[in-house]
Amino acid sequence: MSTGLAASMGKVAVLMGGTSAEREISFLSGNGVLDALRLVGVNAHAFDPAERGLHELKSDGFARCFIALHGRHGEDGTVQGALELLGIPYTGSGVMASAMAMDKVMTKRIWEACGLPTPRHVVLQPGSQELADVRQVPDALGLPLIVKPPREGSSIGVTKVQGYSEMIDAVRLSAKYDPDVLCEEFIEGEEVTCAVLGTGAGAEALPVIRIQAPEGAYDYQNKYFTDEVRYLCPSGLPEAEEMEIRRIVLASYRALGCRGWGRADLMIRASDRKPFLLEMNTSPGMTGHSLVPMAARASGIAYPDLCLRVLASATLDTPGAAAA
């Protein structure tokens, strides 16, 4: 991309850190983005909302923000709402789409209403997390099953439950991160992910990545701090499967009203090769192990160009208030 585009971005804040359980990963993403933007000539600066008030973005003359925050108070519509009030364009989805995509239960409801495939689920609210309630979940969903907090990411607080006796501990772990607990049917098969760039009719799905983790454990440690996970891109899937995954990912992205960029995670059921949507990430990781840069690279988009392209898409929900 041209140096003229980089210069036109103005003074840019890369929002990183924050207060969520994913603070550590956010710094890895944010510093990668910061270095890349500076490399292509953007006047970019680190900004940690946990250390500085967002009002300083306005007083310090920032023209736009690259959101490299993950999780709560970064990916859930709250920071997006503050930036709307400040009138500072930002990367990624707007307030409503961010809030809905951050909540896996709301996401599922929207996908189900649109006829998109997602695993069956049960929600345990604070008043229904005692042993008698918890033991009924495997009867509804079967075993094994997944227990996780609906408003966290990076596999934090997630347990694969193999038997009835494991349910209560799994629910208690999840409840440390979110008052509601999401119990989800386990889909036996291959894990894949698919990134999207763009907005509306102009959005495009990038190549699918197939993930092979040790013993199938694509957890927090394996996502970010080991080199034992294999990422296959090209995926090696039959062309018809790859195209179907791209199709439903684009449909899921548009159904939530996402814009700019995002990444959907899916499982392909081994028994019939049917793909199931798990979640939509509206502020995907940009670390050395992250998947959007990998898919972009397979499409011929280098990491610095990817960062600049996402930054150039920064906008506001308010009609007519987008950056020039």
Specify whether 148 is located in the same domain as 131: yes
Report yes or no on 323 lying in a domain.
Answer: no
User: Taking Cα atoms as reference points, which of 67, 1, 39, 29 lies closest to residue 309?
Assistant: 1
The reply to whether 27 and 160 lie within a common domain is: no
Average pLDDT over residues 94-99: 98
Domain membership flag for residue 319 = no
Which of 190 and 213 is assigned the larger pLDDT?
190
324, part of any domain: no
Read off the pLDDT of residues 7-18 as tens digits, 9 standing for 90 and up.
999 999 999 999
Domain boundary among 185, 200, 233: 185
Q: Do 151 and 70 have their domain in common?
A: no
Shared-domain flag, residues 291 and 195: yes
Say if residue 139 is in the same domain as residue 22: no
Predicted confidence (pLDDT) at residue 198 exceeds the cutoff of 70: yes
Q: How many percent of the chain have pLDDT more than 70?
A: 93
Same domain, 140 and 261: no
Q: What pLDDT was estimated at residue 214?
A: 72
Q: What pLDDT shows up at residue 264?
A: 98
Q: How many domains does the chain contain in total? A: 3
AA identity, residue 119: P
Dihedral, CA atoms, 103, 99, 50, 286, nearest 10 degrees? Answer: 80
The count of other CB atoms within 10 Å of the CB of residue 300 is 7
Domain stop point among 91, 108, 130 = 91
Domain of 130, CATH number, reads 3.30.1490.20
Query: pTM of the full predicted structure?
Result: 0.92
Cα→Cα distances 211→52, 59, 152, 252, 300, Å = 37, 44, 21, 20, 20
Which burial class, exposed, middle or buried, applies to 269 when counting CB atoms under 10 A from its CB (0-12, 13-18, 19+)? middle
- Are residues 161 and 275 both part of a single domain? no
| Average pLDDT of the residues in 226-240 | 89
Residues 75 and 140 in one domain: no
pLDDT (mean) for 94-108:
97
Q: Is the pLDDT of residue 324 over 60?
A: no
When pLDDT is cut at 50, 70 and 90, the band that residue 229 belongs to is confident
Note the pLDDT of residue 318.
Answer: 82
84, 317 Cβ separation under 8 angstroms: yes
Integer Cα distance of 90 and 253 in angstroms: 18
Q: Is residue 125 part of a domain?
A: yes
Query: What is the separation, in whole angstroms, between the first and last Cα of the chain?
Result: 17
List pLDDT tens digits, range 282-300.
999 998 779 999 999 999 9
The CATH number covering residue 193 comes to: 3.30.470.20
Residue 312, domain member (yes or no) = no
Among 191-205, 245-259, 277-291, the least confident range: 277-291
Please report which confidence band the pLDDT of residue 226 belongs to, taking 50, 70 and 90 as the band edges.
low
Instruction: For residue 14, give the CATH number of its domain.
Output: 3.40.50.20
Give residue 322's pLDDT band: very low, low, confident or very high (50, 70, 90). Answer: very low
pLDDT of residue 2: 65
Is residue 39 located within the same domain as residue 75? yes
313 inside domain? no
The confidence score (pLDDT) of residue 78 equals 97
Give 104-141 pLDDT, tens digit per residue: 999 999 999 999 999 999 999 999 999 999 999 999 99
112 shares its domain with 229: yes
C-alpha 222/C-alpha 226 separation (Å) is 5
User: Which among 2-11, 57-66, 215-224 has the top mean pLDDT?
Assistant: 57-66
Helical packing angle, 104-113 and 239-255, nearest 10° = 110
> Is the domain of 42 the same as that of 158?
no
pLDDT at 89: 97
Q: What is the pLDDT of residues 24-33, one digit of tens each?
A: 999 999 999 9
pLDDT at 61: 98
- φ/ψ of 295, rounded to 5, equals -65, -40
Residues identified as active-site: 22, 154, 224, 263, 265, 279, 281, 285
> Domain containing 300: what range?
100-117+188-305
What's residue 317's pLDDT? 94
Q: Is residue 232 part of a domain?
A: yes
Judgement on whether residues 113 and 260 belong to the same structural domain of the protein = yes
Q: What is the pLDDT of residue 224?
A: 47
